[in-house]
Structure 1
Amino acid sequence: MDPLITTPLPAESEADAKGSSLERMLRVLDLFTEADPIWAVDDMGATLGFTRSTIYRYVRELAEANLLFQVEAGRYSLGARIITWDRQLRVSDPLVRAAQALEADFPRWCEQQVWLICRLFKDRVVCIHQTGELFSEVSYSRGSPRPLFLGATSKAILANLTARQHNQLFLDNPADVYASGLGQTWEAFRASLQRLRRQGYVTSAGEVDPGVYGLAAPIFDGDGKVVGSISCVRPIEQRDEPQQPAQGEQILALAQQLSQLMVALAQRGKPLS
């Protein structure tokens, strides 16, 4: 029998009451990863530092909301509601819908290539749509969060953030800035981003996935705010230096089309027929 239902729940301690319940329950959901897809309730509590009564209450509420699913006694995985939400995003996100509508126009630069559509969520870049084939799986598969500082896909977004955002990111992430190759001082970092912004498209080789070359361009909303990027990743040996400027202009034009269609779809608010 499920201990979540049969075990009486003692009063929550003062330490357990710190922070909002929503924030703390989200921390429970964040435990579930590709590496650790199933968790025992007591292990969740120990990892998060929650009392036994608190973790049992949170897991019970999350299970009742179909956000967690009991795979066996006392052990849980993510629930059906998350799968439903993922499908909802796939069919309703105007950027995904725009990408699907324009897929036939994506250039075929080589046999092995993957097109990625990514969105910026706060300080993370997340792949929301992917099409094509590559010799190995790229780490930008749908749902994979990535940092802002590595790879053409992310740098195309980073370069188009505001000067204030650049300054805050530089102050908050010194190690990431150093590793990015964009400069070790504020002046050098700012100059690198200005250069990428003027160029429009961004390239990288082996920064995220070994042996992979990326070409990316930013996507903007109706107010001119960068919200994501489109990128094409290929084997490094398929990189064609003489063709890079022409391909850069192609991906910039494609990004502009995506931006315009995304805005139109968002305003319309209805699925494509």
Structure 2
Amino acid sequence: MSSLSKMLSVLDLFGPATLKIDPETIAERMGLSRATVYRYVKDLCDAGLLVRVDAGSYGLGPRIIELDWMMRQYDPILVAGRELMHELSEATGLAVFASVFYDGHIINTYIAEPNDTYQFAFGRGQPLPFFRGAQSKVLIAFQKGRRLQRLFEEHLANDPDSTYDWASFSKAAKKIRKDGYCLTHDELNLGLTGIAAPIVNPGLDEVVGSLSAVGSTHNFKLLRQETVIEMVMDTTRRIAERMQNPPAAAHGM
């Protein structure tokens, strides 16, 4: 691993339970000398990727916010789908999520909400549990061939909290692929229902993300579930079509 790779690996130490970190902890967890760690931290601070948050501790820096903003402006799914997501949210009164499977993590990249009513356990940018919740299940179920079995072996086979063996996992994934969507109740937030469908890039014939509509189970009872499913699936098709012929990126969002 190059020195640059090692330096950037410092960023991997941050997570939901580690929002700030001190150089001594970095040295211990990465097996580096204190002199090397202080050099890495200085360079990362100079680049805006880290910032000092209190005496001796560092957090993620403002440059990451800039990069996040730029990603949202030019991310193909969001360029093609942001407007459609808001239309779906307004038409249903539900929150609409765009999610991707990246580097072993399933992450919500954008949320269109009709209001601030919902308090989601997993918001934008926060990794979702493996094969739990509609977004996660859709993105995993549509993985191809041996990759699906490898994902099961890596994430569920030795998980003592998992209720799946390979047979039941494979059967659940097959049903989602056959249906073309996934519906879940209470899997990420008690009292919430989610419906997700894959976004398939027709040029690549692969799943590049998922779209989900999420709301209270009570609100779903006021809507025709079949209608919401069709609206979600239609929106994913329209996003895929727009990705083939993307509209001009909207700025300032």
Using a 3 Å threshold, how does the CA distance of structure 1 residues 71 and 187 change in structure 2: closer, same or farther?
A: closer
TM-superposed CA distance for 1:119, in Å, is: 1.2
Aligned to 2:136: 154
Aligned length: 248
Q: Once the two structures are aligned, what percentage of the paired residues are identical?
A: 29
Question: Within 5 Å, which residues of 2 pair with 1:1-273?
Answer: 19-72=1-54, 74-106=56-88, 108=90, 111=93, 113-132=94-113, 133=115, 135-173=117-155, 174-175=157-158, 179=162, 183-184=164-165, 186-221=166-201, 222-240=203-221, 243-265=224-246, 271-272=249-250
TM-superposed CA distance for 1:138, in Å, is: 1.0
TM-superposed CA distance for 1:126, in Å, is: 0.9
3-state SS of the aligned residue for 2:124? coil
CA contact (8 A) 1:217 1:230 kept: yes
Q: Output the aligned Cα RMSD.
A: 2.6
Whole-angstrom distance in 1 between the partners of 2:75 and 2:219: 32
Give per-residue Cα distances to partners, 1:145-185, cap 9 Å, x unaligned: 12331100111111111021111112222145972x5x42x
The higher radius of gyration belongs to 1
Whole-angstrom distance in 2 between the partners of 1:172 and 1:27: 22
3-state SS of the aligned residue for 1:37? coil
CA contact (8 A) 1:110 1:238 kept: no
3-state SS of the aligned residue for 1:218? strand
CA contact (8 A) 2:192 2:217 kept: yes
Query: What is the one-letter code of the residue matched to 1:254?
Result: T
Provide the TM-score with structure 1 as the length reference: 0.80
Whole-angstrom distance in 2 between the partners of 1:263 and 1:177: 43
TM-superposed CA distance for 1:39, in Å, is: 2.7
Give per-residue Cα distances to partners, 1:51-91, cap 9 Å, x unaligned: 21221121122122221123455432222221110111111
Gaps of 5+ in 2: none
Gaps of 5+ in 1: 1-18
More relative contact order, 1 or 2 (CA 8 Å, 6+ apart): 2
Provide the TM-score with structure 2 as the length reference: 0.86
Query: What is the one-letter code of the residue matched to 1:124?
Result: H
Deviates more, 1:35-44 or 1:219-228: 35-44
